[in-house]
């Protein structure tokens, strides 16, 4: 049962009489119906519908914890503080007391209990396993590294904000929030909701997440995926010859239909749709929109 701590994550603690309705009205997912020790994957968007922050919201008793990228913690804390106005809400960074981790395998709850922590199922995809909240002072017997967990995520082609899509630039549909349970279209209003709902109903998302396999180790740093001399997507997270990409589905379809080679630098790559998604790289039937 691989387990690791994730030092690139920060934990915010949200409390106060109004904090549940406050979060519910801001973010892309439903927190009013969260069960105890249950989590939602969610985002906080710009009014234009772009992802500013992504995170997990975890309910534990009368408290909600936010498990977010450490690089975004200060900005997220400031943004939440700005929105709270007169609401009875307290938001604090408790990363010095609480750490995040991951377990992928069986019996995550038993591991967490033995180490004085809390485990909750990763709400994005069952194969990802569980996430952990644990005392930052604990020294649990982990059996893997953060790099091992990244390789596990990349093998499943689950994107990560900042690595596979740029904050303030990508729409939730482009980052596959709709397939990874990051949005609730029945919960009512949230920041950016009008734009996101329009994309959902019109089916206008053309950029999507794809799994990448290559003939050689892939370069890191966001290289272009090219077909016939033109970019069709951009590489994100990499683990050897495997990676995650955001690509224009229509451009990839056209390249495949024409028999064009897909390359990243000197490496030939294959692009496939993750098993958890339902969009396709097959040519669309004649008469359908491109």
DSSP letter at 254 equals H
Average pLDDT over every residue of 201-225:
92
Q: Is residue 61's pLDDT more than 50?
A: yes
User: What pLDDT, on the 0 to 100 scale, is given for residue 215?
Assistant: 86
Please answer whether residues 181 and 124 qualify as being in contact, where contact means their C-beta atoms are separated by less than 8 angstroms.
yes
User: What pLDDT, on the 0 to 100 scale, is given for residue 286?
Assistant: 58
Closest CA to 166 of 286, 69, 80, 95: 69
Q: Is residue 287's pLDDT more than 70?
A: no
The two tokens of residue 139 are: 């020294």
DSSP letter at 284 equals P
Q: Is residue 138's pLDDT more than 80?
A: yes
CB burial class (10 A; 0-12, 13-18, 19+) of residue 229? exposed
Q: For the chain, give the mean pLDDT.
A: 93
User: What pLDDT, on the 0 to 100 scale, is given for residue 157?
Assistant: 98
**Each residue of 70-87: pLDDT tens digit?**
999 999 999 999 998 888
% of the chain exceeding 90 in pLDDT: 80
Q: Is residue 288's pLDDT more than 60?
A: no
Measured CA distances, 264 to 217, 224, 245, 249 (Å): 10, 6, 11, 17
User: What pLDDT, on the 0 to 100 scale, is given for residue 289?
Assistant: 44
Cα of 186 vs its chain's centroid, Å: 20
% of the chain exceeding 70 in pLDDT: 98
Dist. CA 10–CA 130, nearest whole Å: 17
**Each residue of 16-44: pLDDT tens digit?**
999 999 999 999 999 999 999 999 999 99
User: What pLDDT, on the 0 to 100 scale, is given for residue 217?
Assistant: 93
Q: Is residue 131's pLDDT more than 50?
A: yes
Is the dihedral angle over the CA atoms 146, 124, 57, 34 positive or is it negative?
Answer: negative
| 267 HSE (CA, 13 A, CB side) | 21
DSSP secondary structure string for all residues of 166-202: -TTT--TTTTTTTTTT---TTS---TTHHHHHHHHHH
**Each residue of 152-197: pLDDT tens digit?**
999 999 999 999 999 999 999 999 999 999 999 888 889 988 999 9
């Amino acid at each position: 049962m691989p387990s690791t701590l994730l030092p690139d994550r920060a934990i915010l603690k949200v409390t106060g009489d109004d904090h549940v309705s406050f979060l519910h009205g801001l973010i892309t997912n439903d927190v009013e119906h969260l069960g105890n020790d249950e989590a939602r994957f969610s985002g906080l968007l710009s009014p234009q519908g772009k992802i500013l922050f992504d995170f997990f919201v975890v309910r534990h008793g009368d408290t909600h914890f936010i498990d977010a990228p450490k690089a975004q913690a200060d900005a997220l804390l400031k943004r939440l503080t700005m929105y709270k106005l007169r609401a009875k809400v307290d938001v604090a960074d408790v990363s010095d007391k609480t750490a995040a981790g991951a377990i992928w395998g069986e019996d995550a709850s038993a591991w967490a209990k033995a180490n004085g922590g809390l485990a909750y199922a990763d709400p994005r995809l069952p194969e990802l396993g569980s996430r952990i909240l644990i005392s930052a002072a604990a020294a649990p017997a982990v059996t893997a590294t953060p790099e091992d967990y990244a390789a596990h995520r990349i093998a499943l082609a689950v994107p990560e904000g900042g690595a596979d899509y740029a904050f303030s630039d990508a729409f939730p549909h482009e980052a596959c929030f709709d397939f990874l349970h990051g949005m609730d279209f029945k919960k009512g209003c949230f920041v950016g909701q009008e734009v996101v709902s329009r994309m959902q109903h019109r089916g206008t998302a053309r950029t999507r997440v794809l799994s990448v396999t290559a003939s050689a180790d892939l370069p890191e740093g966001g290289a272009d995926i090219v077909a016939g001399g033109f970019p069709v997507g951009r590489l994100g997270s990499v683990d050897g010859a495997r990676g995650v990409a955001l690509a224009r589905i229509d451009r990839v379809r056209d390249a495949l239909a024409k028999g064009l080679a897909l390359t990243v630098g000197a490496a030939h790559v294959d692009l496939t749709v993750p098993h958890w998604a339902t969009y396709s790289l097959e040519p669309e039937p004649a008469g359908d929109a491109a």
